[in-house]
Structures are given as C-alpha cells and as structure tokens.
C-alpha cells in the first residue's frame, strides 16, 4: 500500500510548483549588467564602481569549460594582462572574497 501511495505522489513531488512568466524573454536570462560611472581626467576615461577607480574597460571573450556557447565579460581593471580565464575562474568560482584587481560590470553569452 505504501508503494502505491509513493508512486502516486512521486510525479507531484518531482514536478514541484512551476510558474512560467509569459512576459519573461529568454534574452533577459543570458547575462547581467551593473552600472558604473565614467569621468574624464586629463583626457583619459576613468571608470568608477563601488568606490574604486579603474583606468581600463576590457571586453574579454572565450568559452568556459563544458559550455555550449562562448561568453563575454566586460570588466573594469587596471591590469592590462588580465585574461578571460582569470575572470571566468573568479566568476564561476566559489571563493567569495571581492577582488580589487577587477570588477565584472557585464556578462553575457555570444550566440553565433
């Protein structure tokens, strides 16, 4: 008897309570973006976010391990040698301490 009850309730337990928002577009789920400020000092752009200043805005593109699509990061940094691998490892890693080297201001997938 217990097996019958479990098998009858199993589809409901596995399905859960799904809610689909009809206004949500798939393209809204492909990345994120945070705001940053730009000032011009001595003819050079300086980018400000979270109280930090960064002289460079870089777009890094590559493919994460086991990913179906390429992805991109737009980062603010002062490191001209910053690589996609370093940023990707920080983004997907479990180490939660903030880094002063760079800040990711945008992330997304590249559909080509």
One digit per residue, pLDDT tens: the chain, 112 residues?
555 544 555 455 544 444 444 443 434 434 556 777 788 777 788 888 878 888 999 999 999 988 889 999 999 999 999 999 999 988 888 776 667 789 888 898 888 7
Q: Can you give the residue ranges of every domain in the chain?
A: 22-110
* 47 Cβ neighbours under 8 A, 6+ residues apart: 36, 37, 38, 53, 54, 55, 56, 57, 76
Q: What is d(CA 73, CA 108) in angstroms, rounded to the nearest whole number?
A: 7
Query: Rounded to 5 degrees, what angle do the CA atoms 50, 56, 58 make?
Result: 100
Global pTM value: 0.64
27's tokens: 């393209």
Q: What is d(CA 91, CA 96) in angstroms, rounded to the nearest whole number?
A: 10
């Amino acid at each position: 008897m217990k097996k019958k009850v479990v098998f009858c309730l199993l589809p409901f337990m596995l399905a859960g309570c799904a809610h689909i928002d009809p206004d949500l577009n798939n393209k809204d789920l492909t990345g994120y973006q945070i705001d940053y400020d730009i000032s011009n000092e001595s003819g050079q752009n300086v980018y400000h976010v979270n109280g930090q200043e960064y002289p460079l805005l870089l777009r890094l593109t590559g493919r994460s391990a086991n990913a179906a699509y390429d992805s991109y990061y737009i980062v603010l940094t002062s490191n001209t040698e910053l690589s996609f691998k370093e940023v990707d490892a920080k983004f997907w890693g479990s180490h939660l301490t903030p880094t002063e080297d760079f800040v990711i201001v945008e992330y997304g997938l590249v559909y080509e």
